[in-house]
């Protein structure tokens, strides 16, 4: 399910950063320059669409981003980055602009001795350093001792990224139960800021994330009032993925039945009641006397 489809869901946004939106283009390209590999949008065939990174569907985008460090190999890594950017968009900070080219973002950084041009922006804002820092931060956050030497090294870097990519803003208070007319929020300046806020938000209260059974996007398991999280038994990020799972199981049931597998075995492997499997295969000519098997 794309972020655009997520905005059409009926889930109520209760996250304090739910008003933040970001744009996604329909075409991006990766190309090699004198400064290394960069990402840039291509000429668009349709208008950019906007989505809310802090919706229930996309609240685990930071984990998708951090897990890019686990993808090994040049082509595989390039494909994983392409999937991420087509789903969530460019990080948004930094951008390199000049009169003859579209905005670009650095995927990695070259050693200084290999550079023919001086980078216009700080190296640590490139994709690879950012995903490595976020992955290290999330792994360290699982430690019990906050005085671990890893924390002493990582925490200043994480705080710097929050300061560089987010900003405090004053907004109207939408909660009618509170007398104050205003509220103070931290608002991302870009998708990169949203990812860091998601990561910091995830470790600041009890919650967990699990991948959607169908699409693999991470969904938050939490009943906290302001997180918009899912129940502990949730397996799908959306109704679209739930419907897709049903179609997949129907297809698997028919294929396995055609190969001679019994209905009881099919029901057990698919985790589906026997009567449901029988209903799926009701029109199959091979069903005949196999209902009780």
Return the pLDDT at 269: 75
Return the pLDDT at 13: 43
**Exposure letters 6-34 (e unless 16+ CB within 10 A, then b):** bbebeeeeebbbbebebebbeebeeeeee
Indicate whether 127 and 257 sit together in one domain: no
Indicate whether 159 and 22 sit together in one domain: yes
Indicate whether 155 and 208 sit together in one domain: yes
Q: What's the rounded Cα separation, in Å, for the pair 277 and 270?
A: 9
Task: Return the higher-pLDDT residue of 284 and 40.
Answer: 40
Residue 5 confidence class, pLDDT cut points 50, 70, 90: very low
pLDDT in tens, 156-194: 889 999 998 998 888 777 767 777 778 777 889 899 999
Task: Return the higher-pLDDT residue of 53 and 220.
Answer: 53
Is residue 85 one of the residues assigned to a domain? yes
Domain residue limits at 258: 245-290
Residue 292 confidence class, pLDDT cut points 50, 70, 90: very low
Last-in-domain residue among 212, 233, 254: 233
Instruction: Please provide residue 41's backbone torsions phi and psi, each rounded to the nearest 5 degrees.
Output: -70, 145
Average pLDDT, integer, range 69-81: 85
Is residue 93 one of the residues assigned to a domain? yes
Indicate whether 22 and 111 sit together in one domain: yes
Indicate whether 183 and 268 sit together in one domain: no
Point out the least confidently predicted range of 37-51, 57-71, 168-182, 193-207.
168-182
pLDDT over threshold 50, residue 7: no
Return the pLDDT at 191: 94
Last-in-domain residue among 233, 253, 280: 233
Return the pLDDT at 1: 45
80 within 8 A of 65, measured Cβ to Cβ? no
Indicate whether 264 and 221 sit together in one domain: no
Q: What's the rounded Cα separation, in Å, for the pair 84 and 90?
A: 9
Indicate whether 171 and 281 sit together in one domain: no
Is residue 238 one of the residues assigned to a domain? no
Global pTM exceeds 0.85: no
Return the pLDDT at 6: 46
pLDDT over threshold 50, residue 11: no
To the nearest whole number, what is the mean pLDDT of the chain? Answer: 76
pLDDT in tens, 95-135: 655 444 557 788 886 555 555 555 444 567 789 889 999 99
Last-in-domain residue among 209, 233, 257: 233
pLDDT in tens, 77-92: 888 999 999 999 999 8
Return the pLDDT at 61: 92
- Return the structure tokens found at 144: 């019990």
Indicate whether 18 and 90 sit together in one domain: yes
Return the pLDDT at 91: 92
Return the pLDDT at 196: 94
Is residue 239 one of the residues assigned to a domain? no
Is residue 240 one of the residues assigned to a domain? no
Indicate whether 176 and 253 sit together in one domain: no
Q: What's the rounded Cα separation, in Å, for the pair 89 and 95?
A: 13
Point out the least confidently predicted range of 13-17, 71-75, 264-268.
13-17
Q: What is the length of the chain?
A: 293
pLDDT over threshold 60, residue 273: yes
Indicate whether 93 and 122 sit together in one domain: yes
pLDDT over threshold 60, residue 4: no
Q: What's the rounded Cα separation, in Å, for the pair 28 and 31?
A: 10
Is residue 220 one of the residues assigned to a domain? yes
Average pLDDT, integer, range 183-208: 85
Residue 274 confidence class, pLDDT cut points 50, 70, 90: confident
Is residue 249 one of the residues assigned to a domain? yes
| Number of domains, the chain | 2
Indicate whether 196 and 54 sit together in one domain: yes
Return the pLDDT at 218: 74
Return the pLDDT at 279: 76
Indicate whether 254 and 145 sit together in one domain: no
Q: What's the rounded Cα separation, in Å, for the pair 16 and 50?
A: 18
pLDDT over 90 for what percent of the chain?
Answer: 13
């Amino acid at each position: 399910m794309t972020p655009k489809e997520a905005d059409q869901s009926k889930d109520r946004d209760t996250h304090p950063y739910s008003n933040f939106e970001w744009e996604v283009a329909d075409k991006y390209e990766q190309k090699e320059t004198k400064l290394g590999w960069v990402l840039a949008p291509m000429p668009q065939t349709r208008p950019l669409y906007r989505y809310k990174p802090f919706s229930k569907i996309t609240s685990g985008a930071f984990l998708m981003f951090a897990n890019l460090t686990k993808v090994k190999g040049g082509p595989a890594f390039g494909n994983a980055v392409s999937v991420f950017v087509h789903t969530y968009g460019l990080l948004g900070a930094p951008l390199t602009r000049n009169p003859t080219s579209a905005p670009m973002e650095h995927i990695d950084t070259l050693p200084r001795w290999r550079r023919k041009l001086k980078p216009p922006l700080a190296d640590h804002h490139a994709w690879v350093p950012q995903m490595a820092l976020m992955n290290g931060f999330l792994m360290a956050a699982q430690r019990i001792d906050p005085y671990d030497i890893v924390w002493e090294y990582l925490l200043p870097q994480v705080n710097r990224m929050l300061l560089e990519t987010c900003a405090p803003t004053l907004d109207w208070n939408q909660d009618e139960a509170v007398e104050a007319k205003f509220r103070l929020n931290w608002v991302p300046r870009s998708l990169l800021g949203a990812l860091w806020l998601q990561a910091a938000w995830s470790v600041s209260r009890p919650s967990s994330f699990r991948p959607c059974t169908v699409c693999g996007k991470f969904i938050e398991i939490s009943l906290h009032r302001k997180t918009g999280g899912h129940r502990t038994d949730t397996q799908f990020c959306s109704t679209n993925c739930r419907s897709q799972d049903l179609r997949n199981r129907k297809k698997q049931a028919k294929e396995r039945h055609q190969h001679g597998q019994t209905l009881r075995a099919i029901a057990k492997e698919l985790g589906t009641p026997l009567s449901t499997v029988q209903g799926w295969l009701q029109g199959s000519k091979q069903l005949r006397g196999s209902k009780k098997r």
